[in-house]
């Protein structure tokens, strides 16, 4: 079954009633059809966008904001040094400061999204086990049983991915699996018990796969299951008081042995970093035969024609950028040097001269150029895709959405200075770097400031760098933009969102190794240098030794905006104390956070209609 085809079919008929359900009873039965493929696709649809047929399953809430990736970005990134949201305090509250209350919409959004997706996975497995579905016409009984078994495994992997985040956010966790009766409220279990349950079930899934079994593009399989397990085990001490670094390393090692070939220096990494975050990044997704390497292990698929959303790449482009202080301009027209044997000189923008042989045509063009443009518009400051731009010197920040091939811009986010400083810059102004991972940023070279005097939308352009990672361009293998192969700019874009990449597995294996989980320090160093060599394009930035702090900084640089930052800081004991960033705790220069902020509260709307206990400290 093609994910794109299945998702398109779901556009005509939702599998889950109106998909308008409060998450306080997450096991409310769904009105399924008899098509196993359609119901199975609905699970994936609720990871890639906010719901079937344009409906959000989170009632009374912004659907885009409650999409899986975007909801997790709000929880994982906005409270940290990597990002901040400049608008809508009624929905986001003080989440920018790392301090939240259970009444704000954002808390309701990510809790609801996780519980709804967990429910969809459980109900699908139950419906398969209950004999709801029939074999397709002409399908043998043996093939049908194999298809059911594989679909159930994938549903369980996605279920495990959701519970990884529940383990990150809560300590009294509503726990439901396919054995939870439909219609019953899930029991709250201690974090350590959920950790044991989830890892045990995912281990069974891993053991059931044939070696080297690869899923079809857009679906999860063996590598995703092991990657999720590695993420859970890496945080074992936080989640369950267990130092399971040996298990973490073992699963990473399995993945690296399968996927660590082809691509950049035969490591399995994509040839270029930027290509992973462009319009055509699906060619690097596991299961896609378009490329010899498959760095993206778990993807949230998007398709220009059939499956788009207000999360993922769409959100991570529009949320960061705007069009500000920039005008498209033209070069000063110049007569052909051979005309009348004379040479025209004006002393500026020589490389952009447009030579005109006809005298009248030249005179008209020169007159128009003189009269129609302000003085600053006559200066070509930047040329991208053969389009010339000039910057208004009075504007705070200079940027054009055309530079990202974007159709929608929101001006909603800025980065904190502490995060910007983690990268290796060649100048004190932090505008020039050899690190390709900052190549899409807007810095002081374009009139932005790294300082964060406020986290207010009205100050956008003067209160932080813009650090977009995704674009709507297609990329060549060497990381240059393929303008001819890029789509028309639209508000929603077709690039996939990479949930887990092989680069993260290399960094996770390195951390587990430094924690004594297996391998060696030499191996950890080798893995980190793979990451650095791709980022810099040479061996000059290779490290000769590796400390845990080095690894932390490199993990931040490589995986920013990939929904790991808050969990990482907590694992490293840097969330409450030990590291301070701008506006942490609501103070301009940052301050320590209380211990209870390592967890999120269960939303008030859930608490008021259930017998749940609130998270410790709230």
Phi (first) and psi of residue 4, to 5 degrees: -60, -45
Q: Of the given ranges (298-312, 518-532, 537-551, 599-613), which has the lowest mean pLDDT?
A: 298-312
- Report the mean per-residue pLDDT for the chain: 90
Give the whole-number percent of the chain exceeding pLDDT 70. 89
Mapping DSSP to helix (H, G, I), strand (E, B) and coil, where does residue 297 land?
strand
Strand pairing category for 333-335 and 354-356: parallel
Beta bridge partners of 391: 326
Q: Of the given ranges (199-203, 328-332, 496-500, 592-596), which has the lowest mean pLDDT?
A: 328-332
Residue 57 is predicted with a pLDDT of 63
pTM confidence score? 0.91
Q: Is the pLDDT reported for residue 186 higher than 60?
A: yes
Phi (first) and psi of residue 550, to 5 degrees: -55, -45
Average confidence (pLDDT) over 429-446: 98
Q: Is the pLDDT reported for residue 183 higher than 90?
A: no
Burial category of 578 from C-beta neighbours within 10 Å (exposed 0-12, middle 13-18, buried 19 and up): exposed
Structure tokens at 354: 């447009």
Mind listing the pLDDT tens digit for each residue in 484-495?
Answer: 999 999 999 999
Residue 56 is predicted with a pLDDT of 57
**Could you give the angle at which helices 191-208 and 141-169 cross, rounded to 10 degrees?**
150
Rounded CA separation 486/279 (Å): 7
Q: Of the given ranges (2-11, 73-82, 140-149), which has the lowest mean pLDDT?
A: 2-11
Rounded CA separation 515/510 (Å): 9
Q: How confident is the model at residue 358 (pLDDT cuts 50, 70, 90)?
A: confident
Structure tokens at 445: 């070279």
Q: Is the pLDDT reported for residue 386 higher than 60?
A: yes
Residue 568 is predicted with a pLDDT of 98
Phi (first) and psi of residue 333, to 5 degrees: -70, 145
Mapping DSSP to helix (H, G, I), strand (E, B) and coil, where does residue 84 land?
strand
Taking alpha carbons only, the member of 106, 26, 97 closest to residue 65 is 106
Q: Is the pLDDT reported for residue 33 higher than 60?
A: no
Structure tokens at 594: 């209380």
Mind listing the pLDDT tens digit for each residue in 544-586?
Answer: 999 999 999 999 999 999 999 999 999 999 999 999 999 999 9
Residue 356 is predicted with a pLDDT of 67
Q: Is the pLDDT reported for residue 342 higher than 50?
A: no
Q: How confident is the model at residue 216 (pLDDT cuts 50, 70, 90)?
A: very high
Rounded CA separation 511/369 (Å): 59
Q: How confident is the model at residue 360 (pLDDT cuts 50, 70, 90)?
A: confident
Q: How confident is the model at residue 354 (pLDDT cuts 50, 70, 90)?
A: low
Mind listing the pLDDT tens digit for each residue in 498-547?
Answer: 999 999 999 999 999 999 999 999 999 999 999 999 999 999 999 999 99
Q: Is the pLDDT reported for residue 339 higher than 90?
A: no
Q: How confident is the model at residue 60 (pLDDT cuts 50, 70, 90)?
A: low
Mind listing the pLDDT tens digit for each residue in 63-98?
Answer: 677 899 999 999 999 999 999 999 999 899 999 999
Sign of the torsion formed by the C-alpha atoms of 467, 473, 477 and 483: negative
Q: How confident is the model at residue 28 (pLDDT cuts 50, 70, 90)?
A: very low
Mind listing the pLDDT tens digit for each residue in 362-373?
Answer: 888 889 999 999
Q: Is the pLDDT reported for residue 616 higher than 80?
A: yes
Which residues, in sequence order, are CB contacts of 373 under 8 Å at separation 6+? 329
Taking alpha carbons only, the member of 114, 229, 107, 120 closest to residue 618 is 107
Give the whole-number percent of the chain exceeding pLDDT 90. 82
Q: Is the pLDDT reported for residue 337 higher than 90?
A: no
Which residues, in sequence order, are CB contacts of 427 under 8 Å at separation 6+? none
Q: How confident is the model at residue 2 (pLDDT cuts 50, 70, 90)?
A: very low
Mind listing the pLDDT tens digit for each residue in 246-276?
Answer: 999 999 999 999 999 999 999 999 999 999 9
């Amino acid at each position: 079954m093609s994910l794109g085809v299945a998702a398109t079919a779901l556009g005509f008929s939702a599998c889950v009633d109106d998909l308008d359900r409060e998450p306080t009873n997450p096991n409310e039965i769904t009105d399924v059809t008899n098509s196993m493929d359609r119901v199975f696709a609905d699970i994936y649809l609720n990871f890639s966008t906010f719901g079937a047929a344009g409906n959000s399953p989170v009632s009374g809430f912004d659907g885009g904001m409650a999409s899986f990736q975007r909801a997790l970005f709000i929880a994982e990134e906005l409270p940290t040094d990597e990002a901040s949201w400049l608008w809508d305090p009624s929905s986001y509250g003080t989440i920018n400061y790392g301090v939240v209350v259970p009444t704000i919409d954002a808390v309701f959004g990510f809790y609801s999204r996780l519980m709804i997706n967990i429910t969809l996975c459980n109900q699908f497995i139950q419906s398969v086990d209950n004999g709801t579905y029939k074999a397709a016409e002409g399908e043998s009984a043996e093939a049908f049983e194999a298809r059911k078994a594989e679909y159930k495994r994938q549903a369980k992997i996605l279920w495990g991915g959701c519970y990884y985040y529940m383990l990150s956010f809560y300590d009294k966790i509503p726990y439901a699996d396919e054995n939870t009766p439909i219609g019953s409220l899930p029991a709250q279990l201690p974090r350590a018990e959920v950790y044991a349950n989830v890892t045990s079930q995912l281990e069974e899934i891993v053991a059931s796969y044939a070696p080297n079994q690869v899923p079809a593009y857009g679906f999860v399989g063996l590598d995703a299951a092991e990657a999720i397990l590695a993420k859970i085990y890496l945080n074992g001490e936080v989640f369950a008081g267990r130092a399971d670094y040996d298990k973490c390393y073992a699963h990473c090692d399995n993945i690296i042995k399968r996927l660590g070939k082809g691509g950049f220096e035969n490591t399995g990494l994509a040839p270029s970093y930027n290509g992973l975050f462009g319009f055509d990044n699906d060619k690097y997704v596991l299961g896609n035969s378009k490329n010899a390497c498959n760095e993206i292990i778990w993807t949230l698929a998007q398709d220009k024609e059939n499956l788009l959303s207000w999360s993922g790449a769409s959100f991570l482009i529009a949320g960061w950028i705007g069009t500000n202080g920039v005008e498209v301009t033209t070069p000063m027209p110049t007569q052909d040097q051979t005309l009348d044997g004379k040479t025209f000189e004006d002393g500026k923008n020589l490389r952009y001269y447009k030579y005109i042989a006809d005298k009248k045509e030249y005179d008209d063009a020169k007159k128009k150029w003189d009269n129609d443009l302000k003085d600053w518009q006559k200066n070509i400051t930047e040329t991208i895709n053969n389009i010339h731009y000039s910057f208004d010197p009075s504007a705070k920040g200079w940027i054009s959405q055309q530079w990202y091939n974007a159709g929608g811009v929101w001006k909603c986010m800025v980065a904190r200075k502490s995060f910007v400083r983690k990268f290796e810059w060649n100048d004190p102004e932090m505008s020039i770097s050899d690190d390709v991972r900052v190549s899409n940023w807007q810095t002081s070279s374009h009139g932005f400031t790294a300082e964060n005097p406020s986290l207010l939308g009205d100050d956008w352009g003067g209160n932080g760098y813009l650090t977009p990672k995704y674009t709507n361009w297609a990329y060549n293998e060497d990381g240059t933009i393929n303008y001819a192969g890029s789509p028309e700019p639209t508000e929603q874009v077709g690039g996939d969102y990479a949930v887990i990449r092989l680069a993260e597995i290399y960094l996770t294996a390195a951390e587990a190794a430094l924690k004594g989980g297996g391998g060696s320090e030499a191996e950890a160093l080798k893995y980190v240098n793979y990451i650095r060599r791709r980022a810099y394009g040479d061996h000059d930035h290779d490290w000769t030794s590796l400390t845990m702090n080095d690894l932390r900084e490199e993990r931040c640089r490589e995986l920013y905006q990939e929904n790991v930052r808050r969990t990482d800081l907590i694992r490293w004991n840097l969330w409450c104390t030990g590291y301070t960033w701008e506006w942490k705790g609501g103070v301009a220069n940052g301050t320590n956070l209380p211990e209870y902020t390592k967890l999120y509260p269960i939303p008030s709307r859930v608490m008021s209609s259930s017998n749940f206990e609130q998270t410790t400290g709230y």
